[in-house]
Structure 1
Amino acid sequence: MNLTQSLYRTLFAGVLLTLTACNASTVTLTHVHGLAFSPDGQQLSVPSHHGLAVYSDGQWRKADGPEHDYMGFAVTRQAIYSSGHPAKGSGLPNPFGLIKSGDGGATWQPLALQGESDFHLLASGFDSGALYVYNGHPNSQMRSAGLYYSLNDGARWRRAAAQGVSEVPAAMAVHPVDKQQVALAGNSGLYLSTDAGKQFQAVVQGEQVLSAAFSLDGKSLWFGSYADTARLSTLDLQTLQVSALGLPDLTEDAVAYLAQNPAKPQQWAIATFKRDVYLSQDAGKTWKALAQAGKTLD
């Protein structure tokens, strides 16, 4: 069964995570645009259509800061990068282009392409800070659609040929240290480049790959896929061997986002297209539900 159409209908209709405060202590996830731990590992953030949801100390809350529509979202050791659209009444350019926060999302600095582009696919190296985006439309710095990267916070963009990939990617990940290593996921499989996106090698074929994240030690690539059922796997970057991990019971659902805790490497989180969020303390062997169908669980 090919879940591409049904999953992406769910993505754009409901997993983009709008934050609804039902009362002082309840946050409902109606849209989910990403998933990331803070650099100190103290909180898990979910960017959304109306700001950030945060899970910390066993509780959910709405984060401080503007309730922007955060789309592409990447957390590095030094900063957060995002794209999307400004909150109503903010007076900021729409779309954002590329923006950056050095205080956990409380305030944001415009970097590039304000009023021109909204990058739904944006990824960055956790320690390198290398930024990669997939641009759907030409703008003043990108003459055509495709894969681009920047090594100076968006001041200059370079086009990556992405040879070996013939489809629009569903997800993207950047190696934490190696600026040249980037992964693309799509309906046909998982692709890996070691030359800044010039050439990609298919490392997983025959199944839809819908999410990807490099482990922070740089040794493996985690990815969520679908082939008759949801799967979660790791790719050893040295041997290219794929190993299966466990998952909660996901019915006509799949892993949309993955994140590893920088302070607790055994701790991983996943978010699904149907707005479930799970946390593992043992590198994917067992999972605890933090949210189900958008309902947060404290």
Structure 2
Amino acid sequence: MRRTLLVPTLIMTVFLASCGGATPVSESTEPVTEEKEMSTEQVPDRWEATKIGTTVSHIHGAGFWQDGRPVIATHTGLMEFREDGWYELSSNRHDYMGFELVADGFYASGHPAQDSQYENPLGVVRGTEKGETLEIRSLEGEADFHYMSVGYETESIYVYLEQATKELAPGFYRSLDGGVSFEPMKMDGIEGRGIAGISADASEPKRVFVYGPDGILVSDDGGDTFEPFNDQGNIVTMATAKGQLSYIAKTGTSFDLVVSDLTEETETSIDLPSMSADNVPIELVMEADRLLLATSDNSVYVFEDEGWTQLLKAGNVN
């Protein structure tokens, strides 16, 4: 599954210099896993109805909970959509970045709430029970991953680290142990290309995609070597599900959504919902025949039964 942010394109000459060229970045010593707020007590419902008139800002991730409800990660915690409107989790109201759903929970990074016991930044967080239970996997107080993708079934993590930590230089990394430790990706085959985002395959642990103004590239060895997947122009966001891939390409001032069946090797175009000219898709999530879309003005749409429904308009809860 893919979670992506609206981000400036990363020019390859810049990040290659940051990685030190031919000198490999030392793999970090395995961080100590910390567990906090690990109560297993069952609480009937710690979600509160969001007040009418609330303005939602900074959507940093989206997905479908295991019960099918859409969820978004915002500047002030998690919100889910129910039949009667939006609800927000009353606990763990952190500024989640890199939010990604997996089969029984989620991963995220970001910044803790002001009253939190966690250090800033959060590092890599594993959430369960819809965010009521959190576990720090690594890099608490050191890393805030804005660019993070996690395989829905595999929990393989692929990140771009913008600022150095005690052990890691800026660059691309993978974690095949759920965020406990990271190793650098060689990224051969992408020289001269702009990279806007990264997307882990949902079911293949070492399959990862990168995308940007030159289309989509794919790696089957954990990001060490890449080859072209398609050259459909400027890809602004993409998502994966088991055996599927979807992406949104920008042509001029318009956007086109395509869903690919990787097994049948077929592609289907889907009309996007009507958006203003200055609005840009920033989050795309797919689950079977459903899609979830968030845009730069903090609007949220769900696609199901061959049609789009708007769940949030320009961040305003009605």
TM over 0.5: yes
1:30 matched to which residue of 2?
A: 57
Give yes or no for contact 2:232–2:249 (8 Å, CA) kept in 1. Answer: no
CA deviation map 1:226-260 (0-9, x unaligned): 11111211234357654422111222323211123
Greater displacement, 252-261 / 83-92: 252-261
2:302 matched to which residue of 1?
A: 279
In the TM superposition, residue 113 of structure 1 has moved relative to its aligned partner by: 0.7
2:224 matched to which residue of 1?
A: 198
1:288 matched to which residue of 2?
A: 309
Relative to structure 1, is the Cα distance of residues 93 and 168 closer, same or farther in structure 2, using a 3 angstrom cutoff?
farther
C-alpha RMSD of the superposition = 2.3
In the TM superposition, residue 72 of structure 1 has moved relative to its aligned partner by: 0.7
Matched residue of 1:82: which SS? strand
Within 2, Cα distance between the matches of 1:117 and 1:219? 32
In the TM superposition, what are the counterparts of 1:34-49 in structure 2 within 5 Å?
34-41=61-68, 43-49=69-75
* 2:257 matches 1:232: yes
Matched residue of 1:29: which SS? coil
1:109 matched to which residue of 2?
A: 135
Aligned-pair identity (%): 26
TM-score, normalization: structure 2? 0.78
2:171 to 113, 129, 146: 146
In the TM superposition, residue 190 of structure 1 has moved relative to its aligned partner by: 1.7
In the TM superposition, what are the counterparts of 1:25-104 in structure 2 within 5 Å?
25-41=52-68, 43-104=69-130
Relative to structure 1, is the Cα distance of residues 23 and 280 closer, same or farther in structure 2, using a 3 angstrom cutoff?
closer
Runs of 4+ in 1 over 3 A off after TM superposition: 21-27, 166-169, 238-243
1:4 matched to which residue of 2?
A: none
* 2:237 matches 1:211: yes
In the TM superposition, residue 22 of structure 1 has moved relative to its aligned partner by: 11
> How many residues matched?
271
* 2:253 matches 1:221: no
Q: Which has the higher contact order (CA 8 A, sep 6+)?
A: 2
1:287 aligned partner, one-letter code: W
In the TM superposition, residue 188 of structure 1 has moved relative to its aligned partner by: 2.5
Instruction: Provide structure 1 residue ranges, at least 5 long, that are not aligned to the other structure.
Output: 1-6, 10-20
In the TM superposition, residue 26 of structure 1 has moved relative to its aligned partner by: 4.8
CA deviation map 1:140-185 (0-9, x unaligned): 342x322211121222212111222245633222122110111112
Greater displacement, 265-274 / 68-77: 265-274
Larger radius of gyration: 2
Within 1, Cα distance between the matches of 2:258 and 2:77? 30
Within 1, Cα distance between the matches of 2:176 and 2:7? 31
Instruction: Provide structure 2 residue ranges, at least 5 long, that are not aligned to the other structure.
Output: 1-5, 9-47
* 2:295 matches 1:268: no
Relative to structure 1, is the Cα distance of residues 203 and 61 closer, same or farther in structure 2, using a 3 angstrom cutoff?
same
Within 1, Cα distance between the matches of 2:157 and 2:142? 18
2:303 aligned partner, one-letter code: S
Matched residue of 1:209: which SS? strand
TM-score, normalization: structure 1? 0.83
Within 2, Cα distance between the matches of 1:72 and 1:271? 14
Within 2, Cα distance between the matches of 1:64 and 1:176? 30
Within 2, Cα distance between the matches of 1:22 and 1:180? 40
Give yes or no for contact 1:220–1:235 (8 Å, CA) kept in 2. Answer: yes
Matched residue of 1:104: which SS? helix
1:288 aligned partner, one-letter code: T
* 2:157 matches 1:131: yes
